[in-house]
Structure 1
Amino acid sequence: MRSKKDNDFADRRSAAADAKAARLDAHRAAREAAEPGRLAREEERVAVAAARDERQAERARIKLEEQERAVLDQAANDAAAKAEEAAVAKAEQDRSSREAEDKAARKAERDRRYANRKARQR
């Protein structure tokens, strides 16, 4: 061991520089040793990001298909409602015309009976 008396400023400075260089060498060695692991983690992150982008694209495609299907369903429902409304209007019109014909037939029968009664009285 060194004696404390021989430990002047230049010695302390060189010891600190040596320690710093040793730490830097150790750090570089550890970083090089971890390089394959770092590359593997980076590749895994890239793969996860690509899978996430694919899932987002699939969800967007499914959502678009559902919106298109909803629009088509709405159009079909509108067409069915319009057809039903037309059928109801046609049925109402037919009923009204039948009622008018029945009323005219009843009036004609009543007029015929009235005319027969008047003819008998003369």
Structure 2
Amino acid sequence: MKHARNNELADRRSAAADAKAALLTAYRAAKTAAEPLQAAKQAERASLVEAREARRAERDRLKGEERTRREALATQEQAAIEAAAAAEIEARQAAEKARISRVVEDEAARKAERDRRYAARKARQA
């Protein structure tokens, strides 16, 4: 556009207003033309969000199942450890009782042997 040196203020203002009106008209036309595309993009975004939420829910469910499985396994291991400890304590107690009974039997056998020798000595003396 040529810039004429003798532009009046009113001419410049009307040219600016015309330019603004043209820009506004172009913007409205572009917005109207892009509306179906924008709706499609919005629908695509919504489907992506739904898919992401579904994947997150599945991941959370799998994590929950894994956590439950690990807890069950840990519980089983703890029960096995406790059972082994109880069996070891029981075995120690049984061994201790057996040792005590052997000591008592040995003591009784020694006493019986001593009494027999004493009786034999008294019998020889008499």
Give the TM-score taking structure 2 as reference length.
0.80
Identify the range of structure 1 (6-15 vs 74-83) with the bigger mean alpha-carbon deviation: 6-15
SS in structure 2 opposite 1:72? helix
**Which stretches in structure 2 are left out of the alignment for 5+ residues?**
none
Q: CA deviation at 1:96?
A: 0.7
Aligned-partner Cα distance in 1 for 2:66–2:42: 36
User: What is the RMSD computed on CA atoms of the aligned residues?
Assistant: 2.3
Give the TM-score taking structure 1 as reference length.
0.82
Aligned-partner Cα distance in 2 for 1:102–1:67: 52
Identify the range of structure 1 (110-119 vs 22-31) with the bigger mean alpha-carbon deviation: 22-31
Could you list the structure 1 runs, at least 4 aligned residues long, displaced by more than 2 angstroms after superposition: 1-8, 27-42
2:76 match: 72
2:115 match: 111
Matches within 5 A, 1:1-122: 4=4, 5=7, 7-122=11-126
State the Cα deviation string for residues 14-67 of structure 1 (Å, max 9, x = none): 321221220232234234335434422331232022111111111012102211
Q: Could you tell me the percent identity over the aligned residues? A: 39
Q: CA deviation at 1:108?
A: 0.7
Aligned residue pairs, count: 122
